[in-house]
Amino acid sequence: MATNKPFIIRVAIQSPLRQLFDYVIPKTILEISPNQQPTSGCRVLVPFGRRLVVGLIVTCPETTDYDENKLKSIENLLDKSPLIPQELFALFVWAAHYYQHPIGDALFNMLPVTLRKAKPLSEPSTKYWQLTAKGKGLGENSLNRAPSQKALIGHLLKHGRLSHDDLIRLFPRNILHTLAKKDLIKDSEDVKAKVAIKIVLKQVPLSLNTAQKIVFAKIRYDDFRCYLLNGVTGSGKTEIYLRAIEDVLRQGKQALVLIPEISLTPQTQKRFSDRFNVPIVTLHSGLSDKARLIAWTDAKAGRASIVLGTRSAIFTPLEQPGLIVVDEEHDQSYKQQEGFRYSARDLAVIRARKENIPIILGSATPSIESLNNCVTKRYEQLMLPQRAGEALQPQWSIIDLKNVNIEAGIASTTLLAISETISNGHQVLIFLNRRGFAPAIICHHCGWAADCHSCDTKLTVHRARNRLICHHCDYQQAIPKHCPNCMSHDLVPMGEGTEQSEDYLKRYFPDTNIMRVDRDSTRKKGAMQTVFNEVERGEPCILIGTQMLAKGHHFSNVTLVVVLDADSGLFSPDFRSQERLAQLLTQVAGRSGRGQLPGRVFIQTHQPEHPLLESLIHKGYNTLAIDLMTQRRQYELPPYRHLAVIRAESQWAKTAETFLHHARATAQKICPASESITYLGPLPAMLEKRAGRYRFVLQINVTQRSMLQNLLTQLNHVLESYKGSKKIRWSVDVDPQEI
235 scored as a contact of ligand ADP (CB under 6 A):
yes
Give dist(CA 628, CA 739) in Å, integer: 18
DSSP-assigned letters across all residues of 129-150: EEE-HHHHT--TTTTTT-HHHH
Vertex 189 angle, CA 184 and 190, to 5°: 135
> By CB under 5 A, which span of 65-73, 292-300, 470-478, 581-589 interacts with Zn ion?
470-478
Confirm or reject binding of residue 472 to Zn ion (CB under 5 A).
yes
* Cα end-to-end span (Å), the chain: 57
> Which partner from the list Zn ion, ligand ADP, none does 212 bind, CB cut-off 5 to 8 Å by kind?
ligand ADP
List the single partner that 236 binds among ligand ADP, Zn ion, none, CB under 5 to 8 Å by kind. ligand ADP
Per-residue binding string, ligand ADP, 103-142, x by CB under 6 A, is: ----------------------------------------
CB nearer to Zn ion: pick between 116 and 445: 445
Min separation Cβ 243 and ligand ADP, Å: 10
**Least CB distance to ligand ADP at residue 270 (A):** 12
Q: Which of 138, 197, 201, 208 binds ligand ADP (CB under 6 A)?
A: 208
The one-letter code for the residue type at 688 is E
Name 713's bridge partners. none
Residue among 239 and 355 whose Cβ is closer to ligand ADP: 239
CB of residue 321 to Zn ion, shortest distance in Å: 44
- Cα angle 728, 730, 736 (rounded to 5 degrees) comes to 155
Under the criterion CB under 5 A, does residue 224 sit at the interface with Zn ion? no
Choices 16-24, 227-235, 467-475, 494-502 (CB under 5 A): range interacting with Zn ion = 467-475
By CB under 6 A, is residue 233 in contact with ligand ADP? yes
Task: Residue 233: name the closest of 495, 601, 540 by CA.
Answer: 601
CB of 216 to ligand ADP, least distance (A): 10
The residue ranges of DSSP E strands in 499-638, in sequence order, are 513-517, 541-545, 558-563, 600-605
Q: Which of 10, 237, 243, 458 binds ligand ADP (CB under 6 A)?
A: 237
Q: Which segments of 81-207 are extended strands (E)?
A: 125-131, 162-163, 185-191
Select the residue interacting with Zn ion from 156, 256, 470, 531 (CB under 5 A).
470
If we measure between CA atoms, which residue out of 99, 102, 138, 84 comes closest to residue 13?
Answer: 102
Cβ–Cβ under 8 Å, residues 77 and 24: no
Under 8 Å between Cβ of 359 and 324: yes
Query: Is 388 a residue that touches ligand ADP (CB under 6 A)?
Result: yes
Do the beta carbons of residue 57 and residue 84 sit within 8 Å? no
448 contacts Zn ion (rule: CB under 5 A): yes
Instruction: Return the sign of the alpha-carbon dihedral for residues 463, 466, 469, 474.
Output: negative
Q: Does 238 bind ligand ADP (CB under 6 A)?
A: yes
Interface with ligand ADP (CB under 6 A), residue total 14
Chain positions 57 to 96 lying near ligand ADP, rule: CB under 6 A, are none
Smallest separation, CB 240 to ligand ADP (Å): 7
- Rule CB under 6 A: is residue 212 a binding residue for ligand ADP? yes
What helix, strand, coil percent values describe the chain, rounded to 5? 35, 25, 40
Q: Site for Zn ion (CB under 5 A): which residue of 114, 397, 413, 454?
A: 454
Number of residues that bind Zn ion (CB under 5 A): 15
E strand map for 512-556: 513-517, 541-545
d(CA 300, CA 485): 62
Least gap, CB of 351 to ligand ADP (angstroms): 23
- Binding status of residue 234 toward ligand ADP by CB under 6 A: yes
Contacted by 446, from Zn ion, ligand ADP, none: CB < 5 to 8 Å by type: Zn ion
From the list Zn ion, ligand ADP, none, pick the one residue 233 interacts with, judged by a Cβ distance below 5 to 8 Å according to partner type: ligand ADP
How far is residue 86's CA from residue 84's CA, in Å, rounded to a whole number? 6
Q: Where are the alpha helices (DSSP H) in 264-326?
A: 265-275, 289-301
Q: Is 498 strand, coil or helix? A: helix
What are the residues binding Zn ion (CB under 5 A)?
443, 445-446, 448, 452, 454-455, 470, 472-473, 475, 483, 485-486, 488
What are the residues binding ligand ADP (CB under 6 A)?
206, 208-209, 212, 231, 233-239, 388-389
